[in-house]
Chains A and B, each alone.
Chain A
């Protein structure tokens, strides 16, 4: 573990860390964007469920959920940057008519020092994830009937959510929430694109130290990474305490009996948020598209002055290798991931039926460990270990490192569905044909085709989005579309960056589309399989 000085223990890297110029601001930005994003995402998710569940706006959210999740973080951040920055599309929309700007203003909207724009991007990406996880968890609660009972007792629908359903939901999404917390506090790729620049967030700073040719910085990086880990642990502890406090408060409130609720304001907020979420994502993609075809686009024109296919041409040529790497790694790690997870779940089933004890909670925590520990904190250590065995820089190591992160997400997405599969189907099928293998691949797998393909698509997009593992494990030898896109985003030509970002976007999108369309086609004549 880091903290070992050149050849002996020393606190020196820590003192240098704390006295590094800009440390306090880095810390501030990290905490604001990290904890702020998590709490905000949670509140918004709860708001959405309590107020808009099953309304028309909900249907909009539901339909766009999968595509929203499929947009890789980096591409979204880049699109957001092109949208919201002082020379971005939104300002071009209102200039010069409303604002009188002829040249981009010198505002600090994106890349602001407190990390607010970073926080915003994180929230926009994390809410769909949290909604997805919550939907899975809600399947275990009888939402319809709980609502009916609560309302028949006189409580407004929203209050039934707040007092009855959400308290039961929270423990089930706790793990996902902690994963989001760890991610937000330690994200590097998005922070590089849209986070503060001088000083950057802690995670970015640590990353720079790790990449500094001056080897002494590695020690600084190690202590920084450990600090981030401690921050995550501390934040999780705070969330736990917060939960206890809120539960205590809720108990006191719940028995008071107040049933009335004015829905107008929260309703508006909730609708606004859904619109913003969907709208921003669409706008971000559109602006990327526009930039990729641009030749010349002066501020404050609404659209480019001249168009060109040149950058697509150039980009597609340059992007072939990275895309091939990305797809190769993605498909392999995702296939392996799905394979392993199904094996795990089947094994769990077998143990349960034999009445043996399955240590599911422990397994759960173990599987999710890579999500809870900030990547930057342990990847360096892993790389050092691998390098000692000369294993880094090989493609299998890269796949393995992606697998570490693909598995938890595949598990998260496939687990609930797999477990709620009606086992009686298997029982009946066994009595009919007697061969467990046949039952498995002729009955169970086809019935679960859609969730399995979906989990594969999620695994694939997780692999595509991996930035740090590719850099560390690949020892710089593998370029993926993500590493290229992030590297280009911090400077250069918006046009070529847009092409790269769109490529990063399209890759998982295609897989998601197939995941949606293949089952629909295969089962086109089966009504019950359309669910």
Chain B
């Protein structure tokens, strides 16, 4: 469960938005909407642990009843998905995915997990492919797989569909939501397009009650 308690981001002594409190249950996808510049992406950086120095965070962020704030980004086990797939171009698909897997696995276990994940995305036998040869939709799927293979405890999505064209959007949206629900982790999605938001809590960052 991901809990935000009275979270505010301060810039130049001014908060960007009224205090935000939200509880997200496992398998639930909550959406944050708002106009440009209201602080949506900054909020995600704050939760994942990547807040720029000019900002400060007030309030608490708790994951499964432990505050994540004292932890550095690499220890928080919170995955993040951007608009750009950011697949590492100097590695194959399998290597990109393997990068996300924990250290303790044996080579055979690793290969199994990768194959299984690719199968579920409809990309079987894509292991040796070069990311540069994949289509936009395929890359988006691999990117999601990569984030999930790290077995995060929560997932943040920063306008993940905005660079996809209309037909692709629906496909990938469904894929992402189904997968997140199946993995049973809380997810927080940020978007400026209301069609991107699934059923569930939708919060307009700028217009909340204080």
Q: Which residues of A contact B (CB under 8 A)?
A: 142, 145-146, 148-149, 151-157, 163-164, 167-168, 251, 254-259
Residues in B neighbouring A153, C-beta threshold 8 A = 74, 79, 99-100, 146-147, 150
Query: Which chain B residues numbered 113 to 149 have a C-beta less than 8 Å away from chain A?
Result: 146-147
Residues of B within 8 A of A154 (CB): 74-75, 77, 102, 150
Contact with A along B47-82 (1 / 0, CB 8 A): 011100000000000000000000011111111101
4 closest A-B pairs by CB: A255-B98, A257-B103, A151-B73, A152-B80
Question: Which of B7-15, B89-97, B196-204 is near enough to bind chain A?
Answer: B89-97
Residues in A whose Cβ lies below 8 Å from that of B99: 153, 163-164, 254-255, 257
Residue among B89, B95, B99, B100 with max Cβ neighbours from chain A (10 Å): B99
A-B contact count (CB 8 A): 75
**What is the interface of chain A mostly: helix, strand, loop, or mixed?**
helix
Taken together as a complex, chains A and B put the C-alpha atoms of A363 and B124 apart, in Å, by 42
**Given A156-B74, A163-B99, 19 more contacts at CB 8 Å?**
A145-B86, A146-B86, A149-B80, A151-B50, A151-B74, A152-B76, A152-B147, A152-B150, A152-B152, A153-B150, A154-B74, A154-B150, A168-B90, A255-B95, A257-B98, A257-B103, A257-B104, A259-B74, A259-B103
- Which of these, B45, B78, B89, B101, contacts A257 with CB under 8 Å? B101
A148 touches B74 (CB 8 A): no
Closest Cβ neighbor of B100 among chain A residues? A153
B78 close to A152 (CB less than 8 A): yes
Knowing A142-B86, A152-B73, the reply to whether A256 touches B79 (Cβ < 8 A) is: no
Name 8 A/B residue pairs within 8 A (Cβ), A-sorted: A148-B45, A148-B82, A151-B50, A151-B74, A152-B79, A157-B74, A163-B99, A168-B90
Closest chain B residue to A141 by CB distance?
A: B89
Q: Report A-chain residues with C-beta under 8 Å of the C-beta of B98.
A: 254-255, 257
Which B residues contact A (CB, under 8 angstroms)? 45, 48-50, 72-80, 82, 84, 86, 88-91, 95, 98-105, 110, 146-147, 150, 152
For residue A149, which residues in chain B have a CB less than 8 angstroms away from its CB? 80, 82, 86
Q: In whole angstroms, how far apart are the Cα atoms of A146 and B88 in the complex?
A: 8
Q: What's the Cα separation between A163 and B72 when bound, in Å?
A: 19
How far in angstroms is the closest Cβ of chain A from B52? 10
* B89–A152 CB distance below 8 A: no
Collect the chain A residues with CB atoms within 8 Å of residue B150's CB. 152-154
Residues B88 and A164 in contact, CB atoms below 8 Å apart: yes
Closest to A256 in B: B103
When C-beta atoms are compared, the residue in chain A nearest to B44 turns out to be A148
How far does the alpha carbon of A148 sit from the alpha carbon of B52 in the complex, in Å? 12
Q: How far is the CA of A149 from the CA of B77 in the complex (A)?
A: 12
- Beta-carbon nearest neighbor of A159 in chain B: B74
Is the beta-carbon distance between A155 and B74 smaller than 8 angstroms?
yes
Residues of B within 8 A of A142 (CB): 84, 86
Query: Do the beta carbons of A258 and B103 come within 8 Å of each other?
Result: yes
A255: chain B residues within 8 A (beta carbon)? 95, 98-99, 101, 110
